[in-house]
Amino acid sequence: MPVVAKPADIRRAKTRRWSISWTGLGAIVALWSAMQGAAVADQDAWPAPLVAAFASAVESDSDGRENWRFMAEADTIDGPLFLRFNGGQLDVRNGWSLETPSADELTSAQRSSYTEIVSPDEEEDDPGGLFLASDAVELIGGEIRLLSQTEAELTYTFSPYLGTDEMDAAIAHHLIGEVTVWRDGSGPARIRLHAPERFRPHPIVRIDVFDLVMEFQHIEGLTAPVMRRLSSRVEGSAAFQDISEVTEMAFTEIEYLGAMDREPIVD
């Protein structure tokens, strides 16, 4: 079931082993905007199943977090946290409440993760929301190639497009994008960005592991797919400091509280 989380901000000057904060898919895209791939793919040349999968994506700034209720499970180094989010109660701990373990039972690592979730960085642009955002389309650059297929799914590879910075283009050059869509046109099943091997985009930056996976689900009655799981892993070093960031979040008991007359974004 779906989502709303982003890997914590990975600043090259510091390391946080387990940290997670709230946001929608648009903010996930913004998080990785320090990278540029090839030019944005020409959607006119996309395979029909890929076009159909993203036809119902919505503008990220039109999908507020106040529109959602759900349960979230966040894995930490000391075990999972189970939390509830209620967009109608944003004035109370930003809408979050801890279900289990109890606050008294939290370890130091779990307490740190919980704080990250309920109190995201003030500078974050946080439109929130669970719907597949139109921003996701901008991820898919370069030539689209069919990688594999089953009776239910089609998986394509692409060159991720994530920004225009020269330094970050060196990073994205080493990433591979994969998007899996349902044959029935109900939307994407997952989007993955990963580096197949260790690389150095800069003399003082080494990336040992880069893997970001977003999984989606179609929920009956909603106009766009929602994300049900987010996982990310980034390891390496920068400016002589280690980077070790792992995020695992899954979402269940999703309830949409907004208006149901939302118009999908279709070019």
Question: What is the tens place of the pLDDT at every residue in 155-172?
Answer: 999 998 767 777 667 777
Pick the residue with more confidence: 22 or 187?
187
Distance CA 22, CA 181 (A): 25
Burial (Cβ within 10 Å: 0-12, 13-18, ≥19) of residue 221: exposed
Average pLDDT of the residues in 177-190: 94
Long-range contacts of 77-82 (CB under 8 A, 24+ apart): 77/17, 77/18, 77/109, 78/107, 78/109, 78/110, 79/107, 79/110, 81/110, 81/113, 81/114, 81/117
Can you tell me whether residue 166 is helix, strand or coil? helix
Condensed to tens digits (0 to 9), the pLDDT of residues 191-244 reads: 999 999 998 888 888 999 999 999 999 998 898 999 999 999 999 998 889 988
Q: What is the mean pLDDT of the chain?
A: 79
Examine residue 101 and say whether the peptide bond preceding it is cis (omega within 30 degrees of 0): yes
- The pLDDT assigned to 124 comes to 53
What pTM was estimated for this model as a whole?
Answer: 0.79
